[in-house]
Each structure stands twice: as structure tokens, then as C-alpha cells.
Amino acid sequence: MSNSDSAGKTEVLGLSHLLLQVDDLNAAEMFYCDMLGLTIRAKSTFGGNRPLISTMEGIGMTTLPVQGEGPLPLEKRNVEHIALWVTGIDALGAKLELAGFHVDGPKRNEYGLSMSVHDPDGNRVECIERL
């Protein structure tokens, strides 16, 4: 019997994926794949014939749809921050800083050892290493 049977029992099993709409797909690919180490699953197209990069880790990236004068300003977008489980947080922070990104942390919080960095579009990405 599945969790979506007629009795109505359901459960959330986890996040399937998160799709980011970005200004510069090449810069986003560099940040998420080259800097953070995400692995590209596929490159294809998304609604409106926009290019799409999907990763094995569940983060997808596509370009922002153009509306009127241009893409939505950062404060009008829907993601407050993304949190990723990582290992080697000190080495990752050093790598990001060497590449010119400002890193806040690492510092302890309720999840573990956490640091934040902003991607090329200004989205806050929290990297957390379990303690």
C-alpha cells in the first residue's frame, strides 16, 4: 500500500530539487559546480526555451525570464537562502575566499559548523558541516 492511498496518509520524504533562476548561467555554473563541487546531471532547456543545468545534488539553474525592462530584482525573488551539507568546511571557505568570494564564518549553530557566502546573483548559500 503506498503512502498516497485512499486513507490519505502521506509524508514528505525530502527535497527533490531546487531550481534557481539566475542572471548569468556561466557564473552560476562556475560557483555551484567549480567552487562548491556540485556535479552536472544534464544540460537541457526549460520553459520558454531557457537553458537548464541540473545537478546530481538537486540544484537546477536556468536563466531568468525577461519581463518588461529585464529580470526581477533580487529583492523580488523567492529564495531567502539555500543550505547545503558539506564536508571540509574550512578548506571550502579558503577556496571561496581565494576566488574572491566573501565568506562569513564558519561558526557553530544548531545544525553544526556553518558559513555563508553569496553566489554571483546575490543568493545567500549556507554551507553546514555536521559536528
pLDDT score for 77: 66
15 grid coordinates = 527535497
Topology of domain 80-131, CATH: 2,3-Dihydroxybiphenyl 1,2-Dioxygenase; domain 1 (3.10.180)
Q: How many helices (H) and strands (E) does the chain have?
A: 2, 8
40: Cβ contacts below 8 Å, ≥ 6 apart: 29, 33, 53, 54, 55, 56
User: For the chain, what are the domain ranges?
Assistant: 16-64, 80-131
Specify whether domain 16-64 bears CATH 3.10.180.10.
yes
The reply to whether 80-131 shares the fold of 16-64 is yes
pLDDT score for 1: 46
pLDDT score for 31: 98
If the chain, 131 residues long, is cut into consecutive pieces of 10 residues, what is the mean pLDDT of each piece? 60 84 94 97 88 95 76 69 93 96 95 95 92 89
Q: Which of 85, 71, 81, 69 shows the shortest CA–CA distance to 122?
A: 81
